[in-house]
A and B are shown apart, each in its own frame.
Chain A
């Protein structure tokens, strides 16, 4: 079974600065998908960024980028130019590529606070 670990329960960053959230995972599969989801106080999970394991290039979405280290099973999220609206819980998630096994396995989350 796959597991996802987020070792930082809370992080804080000054507005306009850069912050990195950590995530490690364990799997025996060679191909898979990794995600970062954001959950603001409104509770609705929003997809921030996704990475396919077979792609060596790190995914980027505007101010959000990942550092995907397949051998180390590490998948960190970097947020550049932090904004007040980035304050939320951030969850790392894993998904198998196999049809019929599309469940998401989540970590325990990191609460990000933005300091004005």
Chain B
């Protein structure tokens, strides 16, 4: 049973560029949550997707957007990258919104130069 997968593993971008990160949830899960983890910090909630809709959002600017596809996989898009966007981006999947355990992927390390 494949767990949560994320791609790519690492990514290097330049300020002002745009980036797309991808997440495939664990088999049987229909909800995807995204978190940003800056170096030395705990993860911060970005948003959650359920039934292809954004149902909850953290304190992140509109430069951060997402999408969920009919197969429940998800993308996180970040526009106009800033140096401060450098972080580990974690995806977590769960069933029916996340009332049960959220399973995390290995993350994507984004570096903005």
Contact = CB atoms under 8 A, between A and B. Distances in A.
Interface string A67-99: 000000000000000000000000101010101
B42 interface: yes
B56 A108 contact: no
Given A99-B99, A100-B97, A106 B42 contact: yes
Contacts of A105: 45
Contacts of A45: 43, 90, 92, 104
A43 B101 contact: no
Contacts of A101: 56
Interface residues of A, number: 25
Contacts of A4: 42
Contacts of A102: 31, 33, 48, 56, 94, 97-99, 102
Given A91-B42, A109-B42, A104 B106 contact: no
Interface of A is mostly: loop
A47 B101 contact: yes
A4 B106 CA distance: 23
Contact of A99 (B44, B97, B104, B106): B97
Nearest to B99: A102
A28 interface: no
Nearest to B55: A100
A4 B42 CA distance: 10
Interface of A: 4, 6, 37, 42-47, 50, 91, 93, 95, 97, 99-109
- The 3 A-B residue pairs whose C-beta atoms are closest, nearest first, are A102-B98, A106-B42, A45-B104
9 contacts: A43-B107, A44-B105, A46-B104, A47-B101, A102-B31, A102-B33, A104-B33, A106-B44, A109-B41
Given A42-B106, A44-B107, A106-B44, 13 more contacts: A37-B104, A43-B88, A43-B106, A44-B106, A50-B101, A97-B99, A100-B55, A102-B31, A102-B56, A104-B45, A104-B92, A109-B41, A109-B42
